[in-house]
Amino acid sequence: MAKYIDLTSDNFEATIAEGVTMVDFWAPWCGPCRMIAPVVEELAEDFDGKATICKVNTDEQQDVAVKYGIRSIPAILFFKDGELVDQMVGAASKDAFAAKINALL
């Protein structure tokens, strides 16, 4: 059973450096963030070995959120080989997230 990776300022760059990575910027007090949390966990299982699924707690990792200009959460950023290639703001369906990941694979 695959699990998403919790990112911090220490492991962020190394984790997104290779392949396709989806990063969910969230906070515990954010309702829409909690709403998509199970979807993010399902995506981690669905894309195990194909893409990396990660989460960043913006309350605990404010420096990372500032670096990527996160103003609204949930914010989902998509990276390919370390480069930001797409982003979504707000809750969306599992299919919408999966379509973005598949387009980058």
Angstrom distance (rounded) from CA 5 to CA 39: 14
The catalytically annotated residue of 5, 22, 23, 33 is: 33
Is 54 catalytic? The answer is no
Checking phi first, is residue 101 left (phi over 0); if not, alpha (psi -120 to 50) or beta?
alpha
The catalytically annotated residue of 22, 30, 51, 76 is: 30
Sign of CA dihedral 86, 42, 16, 11: positive
Nearest to 43 by CA among 104, 101, 105: 101
* Residues belonging to the active site: 30, 33
